[in-house]
Amino acid sequence: MQAQLEAIVSETESAVPAIRTRPEFDAFKARISGPHGSLTQAMKAVGKLPKEEKPAAGKLVNEAKRRIEAAFASALARIEDAELAAKLGDPVDATLPSPDDFAGSAHPLTQTREEICRVFHKLGFTVAEGPELESEWYCFDALNTPESHPARDMQDTLFLPAGTVAKDAPKKGDEAYIMRSHTSSVQIRAMLAGTPPIRIVAPGRCFRRDTVDATHSANFHQVEGLWVDKSVTLRDLKNVLDFFVREIFGSSVETRLRPSFFPFTEPSFEMDIRSPNLGRLSGRWLEIMGCGLVDPKVFENVGIDPEKWSGLAFGVGLERIAMLVHGIDDIRHFYANDLRFLRQFA
Ligand code: DAH
């Protein structure tokens, strides 16, 4: 009996490491411990031994069974690992460089926004934010834009259904919520949240009921600027904006301020630039932003004394700047997620 068991154990222990597949394993296992297997036969034989031999023989069988099961378990674990590896395919080293050499990069609008913020940071401006879902008071009333102003027309501004609740855009009274049509609302929030001197730029998304074409989008971006201090003058406005434009478009750019009108600035201007390095737009005067000195009415609306403080403000279209910088002729490229376009800015 002992010799027989040792033979079964050593057969198992020597055969099992060579088994590679599950069918092979199942067949071998049946030969040892299946209903007609050699180990099964030996166990049955123990039952037929005389009573006094049974304990010693039982012990031997159990020991043999333990070793055989251990051999089976390790073989099965190895086979399962191999099956899993086959299912997973070749191992991947995630630390190797991508076979496609495109690593991904910031969107051109993000790059332009960061560049603009970097330029104003050099002049001591910090970045401020305000809600995209805004109330009419912050977007229009506080900015001295009367009810009758065309900008408030339902044609231009996206109104939200009455009863809309916006936790992060508390409103003043019972006026309606809108999707902000410009970032100028952030001027108001910044002046209410802090005390002068204030020097902020506010990049953000804006919404208008525009028909989409090469130069219009219903969803676009602006960067707002506001500087409130003891004696901010037109000279500061010109200096700040000239600095900005030269940093973005290079030192050969010329600028001019053309009188204009905005309800929240007095006087108001459009800034135009002209540059020899703008491709097909070289040498032409191009309008790039609205600006002016903060209207005293706006200061009164936010509780800042216009006798003590003065300010400059500007609002620039992010898409406009990015299109000029990169020579892009259609605003829709920014939103199409076409990798052939995006990869050019990597
Ligand atoms: N909010 C204006 C617009 O969307 C742009 C603008 C003009 C912003 C003059 C200003 C400003 O801060 O002073 O067209």
Q: Kindly report, residue by residue over 102-148, the tens digit of the pLDDT.
A: 778 999 999 999 999 999 999 999 999 999 999 999 999 999 998 88
- pLDDT band for position 154 (50/70/90)? low
- The preferred substitution site among 145, 156, 184, 224 for testing ligand 1, maximizing ligand atoms within 8 Å of CB, is 184
Kindly give the pairing relationship between strand 198-207 and strand 126-127: parallel
Q: Cis peptide leading into 267, omega within 30 of 0? A: yes
Are 271 and 241 in contact by the 8 Å Cβ rule? The answer is: yes
Assess whether the C-beta atom of 290 lies below 6 angstroms from ligand 1. yes
Query: What integer is the mean pLDDT of 137-165?
Result: 87
Q: Is 63 annotated as a binding residue?
A: no
- Which residue's alpha carbon is nearest to atom 8 within ligand 1? 315
The sign of the CA dihedral 229, 233, 237, 242 is negative
From the CA of 321, how far away is ligand 1's center (Å)? 15
Kindly report the pTM of this predicted structure. 0.73
Q: In 33-86, where do the E strands start and end?
A: none
Interstrand relation of 219-229 and 198-207 (parallel, antiparallel or unpaired): antiparallel
112 CA to centre of ligand 1 in angstroms? 19
What's the token pair of residue 211?
A: 């028909």
Residue 317 in contact with ligand 1 by CB distance below 6 A: no
Name 168's Cβ contacts closer than 8 Å, sequence gap at least 6: 131, 133
Residue 108 in contact with ligand 1 by CB distance below 6 A: no
Closest to 31 in 3D by CA, of 12, 17, 7, 48: 12
pLDDT tens digits, one per residue of 60-72: 999 999 999 999 9
Q: Which two tokens stand for residue 184?
A: 């100028």
pLDDT for 163 equals: 83
